[in-house]
């Protein structure tokens, strides 16, 4: 059964009683059983979880250490039939020195022991009073005798055959160092890092800790599982909150409820395919393996996972954003929109300066794309300190123009105070039909493309006449689907929208309406945002309404942008994209609808590369772009059969 590269993981913060090992043991067993029942492959407990982190000088008590080993043996016995890898914290006496360790357990065996490398030397807790650093001993000792087993010890990576993941471990303070052990472990192949921690809480520390975990997961291109001790640790001097986090390549997947009085399990599926893909394409990441290894030799422990992992039929806990190009958090969304808009403006400002252009020339249809391009042009004039009237906005009504979009175009140009011109293209197109012998009653591709090319010719000629520069309006989604007329709206002198997908264009226009412009301008911008997307190349219906609706022909842009994101950002195979889309849009689109539009997406994407191979310049605004000069290099004659066959 396929699981599409996902494995379910869990970080735990258990209730405990400091130094009451067997109470803590029962809580561990209860949580491991629950996690295994929920098909988790990996569970991570906090630092010194069996004893409690705050035992202080009790760590020197032989009884505590002996009973810790006894509890570990019971834990192995009582979890040996469970399909899960468990990481627990335990103090271990090795060669007459005490080490703060993580024990990796699976199916009744100890897969390995990893000691803590960096010991804190703070006023509130001073680990060097009790423990030794694992750094030196890890270089000299590969194996220890523990509970009648020969157990791998030191700098270890646990390599699972199926599901294929590699696990590295660091403990609390290790993460806070200039070069954490996880950096080296990741270079050596670990794509999941677990941190058994007991980080206490101070004002503002939680946000810093979250940022630290997220950033390390991004630097290491890994999943980072952080499990921290909870409120039941001793409060003699400090308080712990049970701050548990799972991040994946810089993105926070799940966080615990801090200061909870009960045990917590926080689940998240890790997408191993995404991690492996990003490591493969990130050549700088692979280059780091040439640098000196600060950990010394890293040892690989291979093991076979016993049991079944979650299959595609068992659902997905992982949250899927239906609009992956659009941030869901309001503050992040507003900041992102402002940044994108500024990038567009900065690109056009530079090009206007370099070409000594007097005017940005924009064709205005009353639709989303041309509206965003016009807003960028207006802001560009403000940045350059030039009159807004230097913007030449040209509306070119034709056979398919409706009163609704026509009035929106006129009102928008008036509200923005740009120089507007109206040139009706109908007569020129009819003359051209006569010249080429085309029946004007034949509403075919020639009928449509003649209009698009006539409009671009007008814009280009006005730009030449006025010393201007034609600002392209086509967006990223149209480029992906080939939904443009070759050498018509496909062309310009500088394309400001080429890096922005259609779903994001709509959000950007609405953001600009609500954050930049006055009430009257805001009203027309929202009307434009709510207008059905159409090239308006076919005559309106009998009531004068838009007859040619783009999404009725090619499918919903919200789906196409979802497909585009996962295909280009993570190079996902069609079956996995289909699976994710079915989960994200459950109840909105049927599986068959999604499959139909996904098939259409691949067909259009492959046969439209020739249009993308000669795109005008334009600014890249996000991680996905289709510029043939860098981001996307694809032969124009590539065959889509392989992708379509997998989908079928």
The residue from 8, 39, 67, 116 that is catalytic is: 116
DSSP character at residue 192 = E
Confirm if 450 and 486 have CB atoms less than 8 A apart.
Answer: no
The residue from 55, 101, 172, 247 that is catalytic is: 172
Quickly list DSSP for 470-526.
EEE---HHHHHHT-S-TTTTT--SEETTTTS-HHHHHHHHHHHHHHTS-HHHHHHHH
The residue from 27, 47, 170, 536 that is catalytic is: 47
DSSP character at residue 130 = T
For residue 163, whether the previous peptide bond is cis, meaning omega lies within 30 degrees of 0, is yes
Buried b (16+ CB within 10 A) or exposed e, 75-88: bbebbeebbbbbbb
Q: Catalytic site residue 172? A: yes
Q: Catalytic site residue 116? A: yes
* CA distance linking residue 595 with residue 600, whole number of Å: 9
Q: Is 569 helix (H, G, I), strand (E, B) or coil?
A: helix
Structure-token match 């750094």, residue found: 135
Q: Catalytic site residue 502? A: no
List 560's β-bridge partners, or say none: none
Buried b (16+ CB within 10 A) or exposed e, 373-396: bbbbbbbbbeeeeeeeebbbbbbb
Question: Phi, psi at residue 271, to the nearest 5°?
Answer: -95, 95
Quickly list DSSP for 320-389.
--SSTTS-SSHHHHHHHHHHHHHHHHHHHHHHHHHHT-SEEEEE--SSHHHHHHHHHHHHHHHHHT--GG
The token pair at 522 is 């805001």
Positions marked catalytic:
47, 116, 172
């Amino acid at each position: 059964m396929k699981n599409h590269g996902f494995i379910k993981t869990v970080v735990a913060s258990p209730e405990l009683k400091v130094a009451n090992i067997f109470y803590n043991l029962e809580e561990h067993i209860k949580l491991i059983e629950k996690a295994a029942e929920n098909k988790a492959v990996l569970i991570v407990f906090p630092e010194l979880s069996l004893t409690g982190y705050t035992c202080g000088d009790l760590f020197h008590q032989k009884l505590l250490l002996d009973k810790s080993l006894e509890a570990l043996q019971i834990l192995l016995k009582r979890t040996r039939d469970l399909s899960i890898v468990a990481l627990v914290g335990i103090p271990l006496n090795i060669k007459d020195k005490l080490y703060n360790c993580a024990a990796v357990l699976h199916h009744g065996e100890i897969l390995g022991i990893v000691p803590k490398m960096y010991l804190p030397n703070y006023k509130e807790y001073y680990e060097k009073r009790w423990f030794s650093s694992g750094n030196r001993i890890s270089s000299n000792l590969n194996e220890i005798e523990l509970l009648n087993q020969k157990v791998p010890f030191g700098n270890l990576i646990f390599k699972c055959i199926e599901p294929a993941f590699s696990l590295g471990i660091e403990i609390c303070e290790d993460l806070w160092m200039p070069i954490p052990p996880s950096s080296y472990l990741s270079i050596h192949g670990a794509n999941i890092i677990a941190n058994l921690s007991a980080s206490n809480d101070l004002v503002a520390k939680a946000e810093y800790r979250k940022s630290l975990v997220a950033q390390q997961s991004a630097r290491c291109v890994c999943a980072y599982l952080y499990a921290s001790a909870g409120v039941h640790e001793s409060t003699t001097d400090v308080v712990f909150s049970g701050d548990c986090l799972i991040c994946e390549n810089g993105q926070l997947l799940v966080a615990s409820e801090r200061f909870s009085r009960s045990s917590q399990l926080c689940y998240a599926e890790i997408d191993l395919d995404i991690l492996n893909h990003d490591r493969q394409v990130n050549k700088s990441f692979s280059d780091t393996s040439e640098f000196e290894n600060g950990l010394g030799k890293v040892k690989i422990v291979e093991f076979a996972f016993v049991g079944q992992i979650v299959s595609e039929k068992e659902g997905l806990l992982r949250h899927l954003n239906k609009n992956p190009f659009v941030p869901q958090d309001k503050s992040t969304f507003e900041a992102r929109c402002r940044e994108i808009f500024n990038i567009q403006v900065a690109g056009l400002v530079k090009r206007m300066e370099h070409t000594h252009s007097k005017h940005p020339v924009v064709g205005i249809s009353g639709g989303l794309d041309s509206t965003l391009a016009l807003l960028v042009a207006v802001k560009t004039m403000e940045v350059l300190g030039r009159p807004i009237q230097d913007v030449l906005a040209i509306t070119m009504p034709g056979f398919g123009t409706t009163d609704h979009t026509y009035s929106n175009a006129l009102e928008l140009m008036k509200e923005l105070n740009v120089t507007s011109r109206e040139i009706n293209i109908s007569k020129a197109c009819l003359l051209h039909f006569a010249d080429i012998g085309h029946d004007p009653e034949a509403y075919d591709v020639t009928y449509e493309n003649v209009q698009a090319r006539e409009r671009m010719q007008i814009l280009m000629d006005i730009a030449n006449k006025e010393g201007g520069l034609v600002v392209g309006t086509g967006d990223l989604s149209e480029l992906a689907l080939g939904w443009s007329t070759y050498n018509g709206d496909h062309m310009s002198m500088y394309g400001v929208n080429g890096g922005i997908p259609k779903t994001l264009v709509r959000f950007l226009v609405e953001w600009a309406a609500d954050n930049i412009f006055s009430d009257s301008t805001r009203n027309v911008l929202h009307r434009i945002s709510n207008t059905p997307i159409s090239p308006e190349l076919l005559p309106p219906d009998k009531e004068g309404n838009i007859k040619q609706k783009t999404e009725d022909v090619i499918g919903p842009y919200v789906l196409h942008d979802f497909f585009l994101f996962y295909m280009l950002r993570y190079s996902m195979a069609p079956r996995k994209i289909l699976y994710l889309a079915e989960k994200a849009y459950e109840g909105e689109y049927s599986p068959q609808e999604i499959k139909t539009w996904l098939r259409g997406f691949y067909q259009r994407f492959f046969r439209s590369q020739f249009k993308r191979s000669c795109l005008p310049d334009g600014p890249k605004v996000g991680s996905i772009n289709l510029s043939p000069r860098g981001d996307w290099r694809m032969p124009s004659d590539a065959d889509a059969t392989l992708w379509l066959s997998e989908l079928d």
